[in-house]
């Protein structure tokens, strides 16, 4: 059974992990706006966060032959299983489906979500520290 500390901090850590990964995807879309045949991608944030919090897809056990080999894949590989091509975007003559207005808007909204999660996590840690030390800040 997870500790009280894990129960308090893990949901926020999961949200940061998912929104951070989504920010990377959106940044890649923006960076590839002029790349021929590039297809814009994204993850469904709520669905991905639910799956991460339920422990689904957050580890691909890999067979290893030697102790020096890496065992489990990093989180970004597990999150990659939720990546989808964006639907509804017009594809240009060059085969590129990046809609810069959408990407910039989603990038900004996701950045605000990430910052809010960081602020909330920082507040939780300060509250826990205050409880441990018996001081108020």
Per-position pLDDT tens, the chain of length 137: 667 777 778 889 999 999 999 999 999 999 999 999 999 999 999 999 999 888 764 444 444 565 554 444 445 567 888 999 988 778 888 999 999 999 999 999 999 999 999 999 999 889 888 888 888 76
Instruction: Give phi and psi for 70, each to the nearest 5.
Output: -70, 140
Nearest CA-CA partner of 78 in 63, 60, 55: 60
Nearest by Cα to 78 from 53, 110, 56, 54: 56
Q: In the chain, what are the domain boundaries?
A: 4-133
CA atoms of 2 and 11, how far apart (whole Å): 12
Closest to 106 measured CA to CA, from 12, 53, 50, 40? 40
pTM over 0.85: no
Q: What is the rounded distance in angstroms from the CA atom of residue 101 to the CA atom of residue 73?
A: 34
Those residues with Cβ within 8 angstroms of residue 40's Cβ, 6 or more apart along the chain or in another chain = 29, 85, 86, 89, 97, 98, 99, 103
Burial (Cβ within 10 Å: 0-12, 13-18, ≥19) of residue 90 = exposed
Segment holding 84, helix H or strand E: strand 84-85
């Amino acid at each position: 059974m997870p500790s009280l500390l894990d129960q308090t901090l893990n949901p926020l850590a999961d949200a940061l992990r998912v929104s951070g990964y989504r920010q990377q995807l959106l940044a890649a879309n923006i960076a590839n706006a002029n790349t021929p045949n590039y297809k814009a991608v994204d993850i469904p944030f709520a669905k991905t966060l639910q799956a991460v919090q339920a422990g689904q897809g957050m580890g691909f056990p890999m067979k290893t032959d030697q102790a020096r080999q890496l065992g489990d894949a990093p989180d970004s590989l597990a999150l990659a299983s939720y990546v989808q091509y964006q639907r509804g975007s017009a594809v240009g003559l060059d085969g590129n489906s990046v809609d810069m207005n959408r990407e910039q808007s989603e990038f900004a909204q996701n950045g605000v979500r990430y910052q809010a999660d960081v602020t909330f996590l920082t507040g939780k840690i300060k509250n826990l520290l205050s409880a441990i030390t018996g001081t108020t800040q």
